[in-house]
């Protein structure tokens, strides 16, 4: 016996650590285009083609995998089953997490109300598309099946109408598209964000889509907007219709339109019930915005707002104050909240694997071409089956000539394998026909059975001729598509849910109608702090709280309907509305204006102006004795600009900024001990905001303006000494040791 060889054992090869770290720390130059092409482009294309953009059948891959799994499970008929079961089975086609698959099912369900015609019939809590906080239940608590309209997705799928491909592990097949019998891509909304592109397709009414498609098939030059009136949303709402804008969207596949909510007024309860909202928002977002407007006192007619959504559907209730005009209030809310919102369209669809932005007519054209191919493949499939049946029946027909002969051949054949060849020889039929005859049961080898079967030959021949005629005639194929569209429209069509109203007929709310004339007192401090205090709060207040070393330099009795201008030390002015600033209290330090109005770095607020009509003048008194007079109207703008540059001249150091509603006298004092009383009417107003002004009080080298204040006649006993007819003037010195000197001692 030969000696047994020792079993060779391979030594484990230790990895060469040095080989791994040899390139560590080295920088390899690579063109950015190569990096993008090799590393980023495959990911981008995967997102575009396999995730975010729908195809001509109206579905993304995630939708298609879920619905086909449900179809394969037999969920077109019967009762609902647990959603978790469906999600688990779908993972055979869609190798992603169960949460993503279940969320896809939720969005396709009738309970969620995101689609005009949901494909999933749901049982349980599936959340709501119009609510941000109404979450759907876990998949183990809900049930689902396919909705009846889903039958239109799979009607011909077993007749070779579409291609099938392997799933991710080649364990089963899945369809690349659904042979849907209507343009579902236009019927149910579809949105998605890919890499570098997005898709946003609004839903249209099923009846209108079918009618438009039929009109296009009959006449390619048909006007789309004649039959496809406007988008239709499952939540309803009112669409502000502009035919020119809508036709532009239909033609280019891009554009936007506005949708507003629907409300009713309950006079007995003095409340407004909002029952429909735009598809782009949620009930919570609307309520939060209304609360914010009430808090800022931009809306004063509301007592309370609450969400009363229940099993009957969406409902937001607004309780009004006594005497409030509900129509005027709703105009405000439409303008200032998401109750009126824009829907942006971007009809980006994958056509043969390539993303294209198409108009409605182009989408219908592509769908008709796709559906035409499906019908042809279905007819060809049925034709092949019919020809095969005819071939078998013609072989059976020959048996009719001599049944006894056939029985004799079978009986006298010694070997089973020779039965088929002997029948072929005995009756002159081929192997397929002979195999069919040989498989007939003994009980069926009678003249009655064979005559019944062979009677089908004539009808099969007629069917084959008809199907061959259809395949040769495009018009006949299109007639079949039209007939199917009419059937779908009759069976599943519904009335419009979104009402169409003319945008031109609506009276647009103007923001200036908002007038809150409630009185307030405005306080502005030396360090730039601002307080707005109501009379009631002011009566109950104690001492004003201020920053250490700060002091109040301006106190103005005003209302919430005015505007405020804050001039800064950098020759700029910042504008805001009094109502935009929050009410304060004496016990609070107030709002820091440079921070509130977003001043530039190291910029300080030095003067506040309050106005309701931009009347009066601004006086800019410079240290060198020059004064610039600018009409306040020069700072008024048609647009809501928050910041104006070059608000006054930066050529000379500024000493005092003063606002006067009309011409008056001001008292100017210099460091040289002289005073001058000037009437502002002597200073010419210039609309150029940053003009350098005119010389009013002459100053010698080293001298500057010390003080400038408003002057009231009688404050000085000999005020005529300080007036002059001509400017500039040096002014007069104060008499020494007089009451006037001590009165005006600075």
Of the candidates 529, 527, 550, the one whose C-alpha atom is nearest the C-alpha of residue 592 is 529
Any residues with CB less than 8 A from the CB of 422 and at least 6 apart, and which? 409, 410, 413
Of the candidates 108, 98, 196, the one whose C-alpha atom is nearest the C-alpha of residue 150 is 108
Which position among 141, 216, 250, 492 bears the catalytic label? 141
Tokens linked to 462? 């007629």
Contact predicate 696/626, CB 8 Å:
yes
First to last CA, the chain: 131
Tokens linked to 66? 């879920």
State how far the alpha carbon of 386 is from the alpha carbons of 435, 453, 462, 463, 470, in Å: 18, 14, 10, 8, 15
Q: CB-side exposure of 325: number of CA atoms within 13 Å?
A: 7
State how far the alpha carbon of 24 is from the alpha carbons of 17, 27, 119, 276, 407, in Å: 11, 9, 55, 62, 86
Complete DSSP assignment for 607-621: EEEEESS--SEEEEE
The H or E element that residue 90 is part of is helix 83-90
Contact predicate 180/55, CB 8 Å:
no
Contact predicate 374/179, CB 8 Å:
yes
Complete DSSP assignment for 29-41: ---HHHHIIIIIH
Of the candidates 244, 245, 271, 267, the one whose C-alpha atom is nearest the C-alpha of residue 256 is 245
Residue that is written with structure tokens 């400038």 in the block? 708
Contact predicate 305/287, CB 8 Å:
yes
Complete DSSP assignment for 323-336: T--HHHHHHHHHHH
Q: Where are the alpha helices (DSSP H) in 445-534?
A: 447-454, 456-472, 474-492
Burial 715-731 (b: 16+ CB within 10 A, else e): ebeebebbebeebbbeb
Contact predicate 304/345, CB 8 Å:
no
Q: Is 113 left (phi over 0), alpha (psi -120 to 50) or beta?
A: left
Residue that is written with structure tokens 């078998």 in the block? 392
- What strands lie across the sheet with 529-533, from one edge to the other? 552-559, 519-525, 529-533, 591-592
Q: Tell me how far apart the alpha carbons of residues 319 and 338 are, in angstroms, rounded to a whole number.
A: 19
Q: CB-side exposure of 364: number of CA atoms within 13 Å?
A: 28
State how far the alpha carbon of 370 is from the alpha carbons of 349, 366, 482, in Å: 14, 6, 14
Any residues with CB less than 8 A from the CB of 574 and at least 6 apart, and which? 565, 566, 568, 593, 597, 599, 605, 642, 643
φ, ψ at 77 (rounded to 5°)? -120, 170
3 state DSSP class of 212: helix
Task: Give catalytic status of residue 263 as yes or no.
Answer: no
The H or E element that residue 669 is part of is strand 665-670
Of the candidates 329, 324, 335, 237, the one whose C-alpha atom is nearest the C-alpha of residue 283 is 237
- Active-site positions read 141
């Amino acid at each position: 016996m030969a000696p047994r060889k020792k079993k060779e054992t391979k030594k484990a090869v230790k990895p060469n650590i040095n080989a791994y770290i040899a390139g560590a720390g080295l920088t390899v130059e690579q063109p950015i285009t190569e990096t993008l092409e090799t590393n980023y482009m495959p990911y981008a294309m995967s997102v575009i083609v396999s995730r975010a953009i729908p195809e001509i059948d109206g579905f993304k891959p995630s939708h298609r995998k879920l619905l086909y799994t449900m179809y394969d499970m037999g969920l077109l008929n019967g009762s609902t089953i647990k959603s978790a079961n469906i999600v688990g089975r779908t993972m055979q086609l869609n190798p992603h997490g169960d949460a993503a698959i279940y969320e896809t099912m939720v969005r396709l369900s009738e309970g969620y109300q995101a689609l005009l015609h949901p494909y999933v019939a749901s049982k349980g809590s599936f959340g709501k598309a119009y609510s941000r906080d109404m979450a759907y239940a876990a998949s183990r608590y809900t049930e689902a099946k396919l909705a009846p309209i889903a039958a239109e997705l799979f009607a011909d799928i077993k007749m070779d109408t579409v291609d099938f491909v392997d799933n991710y592990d080649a364990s089963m097949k899945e369809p690349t598209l659904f042979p849907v019998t209507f343009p579902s891509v236009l019927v149910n909304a579809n949105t998605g964000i890919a890499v570098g592109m997005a898709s946003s397709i609004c839903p249209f009414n099923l009846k209108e889509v079918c009618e438009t498609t039929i009109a296009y098939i009959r006449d390619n030059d048909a006007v789309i907007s004649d039959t496809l009136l406007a988008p239709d949303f499952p939540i309803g709402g009112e669409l502000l219709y502009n035919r020119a804008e809508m036709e532009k969207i239909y033609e280019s596949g891009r554009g936007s339109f506005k949708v507003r909510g629907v409300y009713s007024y309950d006079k007995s309860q003095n409340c407004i019930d909002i029952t429909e909202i735009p598809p782009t928002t949620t009930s919570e977002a609307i309520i939060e915005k209304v609360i914010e407007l009430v808090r800022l006192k931009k809306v004063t007619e509301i007592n309370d707002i609450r969400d009363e959504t229940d099993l009957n559907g969406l409902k937001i209730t607004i309780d009004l104050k006594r005497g409030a005009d509900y129509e005027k209030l709703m105009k405000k809310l439409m303008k200032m909240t998401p109750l009126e919102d824009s829907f942006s369209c971007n009809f980006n669809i994958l056509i043969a694997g390539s993303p294209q932005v198409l108009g409605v007519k182009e989408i219908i054209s592509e769908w008709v071409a796709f559906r035409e191919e499906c019908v042809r493949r279905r007819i060809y499939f049925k034709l092949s089956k019919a020809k095969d049946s005819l071939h078998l029946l013609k072989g059976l027909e020959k048996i009719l000539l001599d049944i006894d002969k056939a029985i004799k051949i079978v009986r006298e054949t010694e070997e089973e394998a020779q039965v088929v060849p002997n029948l072929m020889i005995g009756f002159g039929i081929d192997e397929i026909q002979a195999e069919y005859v040989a498989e007939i049961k003994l009980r069926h080898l009678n003249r009655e059975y064979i005559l019944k079967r062979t009677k089908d030959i004539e009808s099969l021949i007629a069917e084959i001729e008809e199907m061959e005629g259809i395949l040769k005639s495009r018009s006949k194929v299109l007639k079949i598509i039209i007939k199917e569209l009419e059937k779908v429209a009759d069976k599943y069509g519904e009335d419009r849910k979104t009402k169409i109203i003319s945008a031109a007929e609506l009276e647009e709310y103007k923001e200036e109608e908002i007038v809150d004339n409630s009185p307030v007192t405005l306080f502005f401090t030396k360090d730039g702090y601002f307080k707005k205090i109501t009379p009631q709060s002011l009566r109950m207040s104690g001492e004003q709280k201020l920053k250490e070393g700060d002091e109040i330099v301006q106190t103005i009795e005003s209302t919430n309907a005015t505007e405020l201008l804050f001039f800064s030390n950098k020759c700029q002015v910042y504008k805001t509305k009094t109502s935009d600033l929050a009410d304060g209290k004496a016990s609070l330090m107030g709002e820091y204006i440079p921070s509130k109005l977003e001043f530039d770095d190291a910029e300080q607020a030095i003067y506040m102006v309050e106005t309701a009509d931009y009347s009066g003048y601004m006086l800019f008194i410079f240290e060198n004795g020059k004064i610039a007079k600018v009409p306040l109207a020069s700072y008024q703008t048609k647009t809501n600009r928050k910041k104006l540059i070059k608000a006054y001249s930066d050529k000379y150091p500024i000493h005092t900024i003063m606002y006067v509603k009309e011409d008056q006298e001001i008292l100017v004092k210099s460091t040289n001990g002289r005073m001058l009383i000037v009437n502002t009417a002597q200073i010419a107003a210039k609309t150029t905001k940053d003009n350098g002004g005119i010389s009013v009080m002459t100053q010698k080298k080293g001298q500057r303006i010390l003080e400038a204040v408003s002057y009231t006649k009688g404050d000085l006993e000999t005020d005529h000494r300080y007036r002059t007819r001509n400017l500039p003037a040096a002014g007069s010195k104060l008499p020494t040791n007089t009451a006037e000197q001590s009165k005006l001692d600075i």
